[in-house]
Amino acid sequence: MTSHDAIGTERPPGPGRRRAARAAALLARPGVFGAAAGAATTLLMAARIFLPGAVGMADNGDGPRRMCALGTVAQVDPGSAPWWAFVNFGYVRAEPGMCDPAATYRSSGNLLLRLARPLGHWLGLPGELDLRALAVLFCLLAGLALGVFAAALRGGLAARSLVCLALFAVVGDSIFAGYAASPYSETAGLLGILAATAGAAHLGGSARARLGGLLVLTAGAVLAVASKTQSVSMVLPFAVLLLLSPVPVGRAAGRLAGRALPLLAAALIAVTGVVTLQWQTEPFKVINPTEVVFVGLLGNSPDPAASAVELGLPEDFAQYAGRSWWTPEPPQSDPRWPEVRDRMTYGTIAGFLLRNPGIAADIAVGAVEDFDAARPTYLGSYPVDAGEQPGAQESRLAVFGALLRFLGGGTVLLIVLALGTVAACRLRALRHQPRRRALVAALLCLAGLAGVQFLTAAYGEAIEGVKHQVFSIYAAGIALVMTAAAALCAPSPDAFGGGALPPPRQEPARVPESVG
């Protein structure tokens, strides 16, 4: 049988196969794929947090400062505890005088709480505010952000699906998911970083896609930067990303004109950082550097007495080395405290670290150990009625956490910083591949976020280092996913027929017929 006969006898695909092919072709469209990925993420995240029972993160004592911004206080469940051991989801209206306005913590996370309050009422949850409503809002916003990210991806359906699944595995990991139903401002920071990443992925598309991506990126960055004082250092990598990403609008398509909107967005993010610094409550402008001086510097010094003198403190203040503001007999209890309080500044700390690189290195080593631990072990995940032991922690999804433990936190951080360096070197070479360049620029931003947040957590406050590394760990995880996205989901411009046409098909030369 000839090849022509074989082709002629092939059966056409059946109705089932044709329907499957049409469905696959429809799902492969960027907009449809993005919507499907976003909806799937919302449902999977809800299942991950609420099944078989809701989980969150117990209060470490910071909750009242934030929740008082809404005039609410925790309703401790019967048999539960207010701190550390169990999650208390319900909040009721605070009685007059229970909340100190001067100690109220201002944050972009308060916006999420204000949205969660009516959502909780609509869901029929009891009390003035229920953290489970905040978790529902987290699921919706995380799904929306991942859907926006998915819509920016190109290439094979399988590759795009795997990248989105990997991103969900990071965002939903037990290291981070507990913040969804918690009284912490980290919730806003985590959502903000995810949204900014999703917007950045569109900065290599059409003019309309770039404009939309810029808006999402800016909104996410503002949400992240304003989440807490520690987040202000995120301004730098976000600004670098915007400086690398032109966004032409209308006739403003030139090299300089296309930079106008990104520069405006960078300025807005920078102003947000300044305002966030001003939001910090007055006591903590002294408390945080005091923690660094006594726990970080003197606690790591081989000669605390000499270091105390170098810091401008009495020599016998070495007795407070390693003591936090919150411990019995803290440094501020000393009668001479008013005389040395003005030495508790980050300028004093920076000068000391520059003169003592050995102590700076010891602090960095401790921060790497915090990064490796990834998750504070002292905050429970369950409400008391779940029947778990006090302080028990869930591990429903721990893929990224397992990778972190297998490779080691320091190794993962070094890998991400190395990927960021490679991304910086590759940007110019990718100027004719805008989609891949946008993903590589986002990778550079995420590596920068991991780096600056690592340093901020290491040298900005010397207690609860594991919890303070959460943004660095989160950015590092998403950076690994972005590396895969840049490699697999940004095909070359000629991958779908955009390049040179192949040569015309040549018919084989015919053998002359013999005569005779």
Q: Say what the alpha-carbon torsion angle 234, 262, 152, 142 is, to the nearest 10 degrees.
A: 40
Q: Comparing C-alpha atoms, which of 32, 48, 37, 35 is closest to residue 139?
A: 48
pLDDT at 10: 59
CA-to-CA separations, 74 to 61, 63, 95, 288, 516, in angstroms, rounded: 11, 9, 12, 25, 107
pLDDT at 13: 66
Dist CA 195 CA 189 (whole Å): 10
In this structure, what token pair is assigned to residue 468?
A: 């303070």
Cis amide prior to 101 (ω within 30 degrees): no
Q: Comparing C-alpha atoms, which of 110, 113, 112, 132 is closest to residue 123?
A: 132
Q: What's the pTM?
A: 0.90
DSSP assignment letter at 255: T
In this structure, what token pair is assigned to residue 136?
A: 């529902």
73 membership: H or E segment, kind and range: strand 72-74
pLDDT at 430: 92
Q: Do residues 161 and 24 lie in contact, with contact meaning Cβ atoms separated by under 8 Å?
A: no
pLDDT at 347: 93
Q: Please, what are the averages of pLDDT over each run of 10 residues along the chain (516 residues)? A: 51 69 76 94 97 94 86 89 93 83 82 95 93 97 97 94 97 96 95 98 92 96 96 96 85 66 95 91 86 92 92 92 88 91 92 94 94 92 94 95 93 97 94 93 97 95 89 97 94 50 42 39
- Per DSSP, the residues of 453-484 read HHHHHHHH-SSSHHHHTHHHHHHHHHHHHHHH
Query: C-alpha angle with apex 206: 203 to 211, nearest 5 degrees?
Result: 55
90 membership: H or E segment, kind and range: strand 90-93
Q: Do residues 389 and 92 lie in contact, with contact meaning Cβ atoms separated by under 8 Å?
A: no
Cis amide prior to 183 (ω within 30 degrees): no
Dist CA 323 CA 311 (whole Å): 16
Over residues 294-329, the pLDDT tens digits come to 999 999 999 999 999 999 999 989 999 988 888 888
263 membership: H or E segment, kind and range: helix 260-279
In this structure, what token pair is assigned to residue 395?
A: 């591990």
Dist CA 138 CA 1 (whole Å): 63
Dist CA 138 CA 134 (whole Å): 6
- The half-sphere exposure of 83 on its side-chain side, counting CA atoms within 13 A, is 5
Q: Comparing C-alpha atoms, which of 419, 380, 400, 397 is closest to residue 470?
A: 400
| Radius of gyration for the alpha carbons in the chain, expressed in angstroms and rounded | 27
In this structure, what token pair is assigned to residue 167?
A: 């991103």
pLDDT at 516: 34
pLDDT at 383: 95
In this structure, what token pair is assigned to residue 176?
A: 């981070």
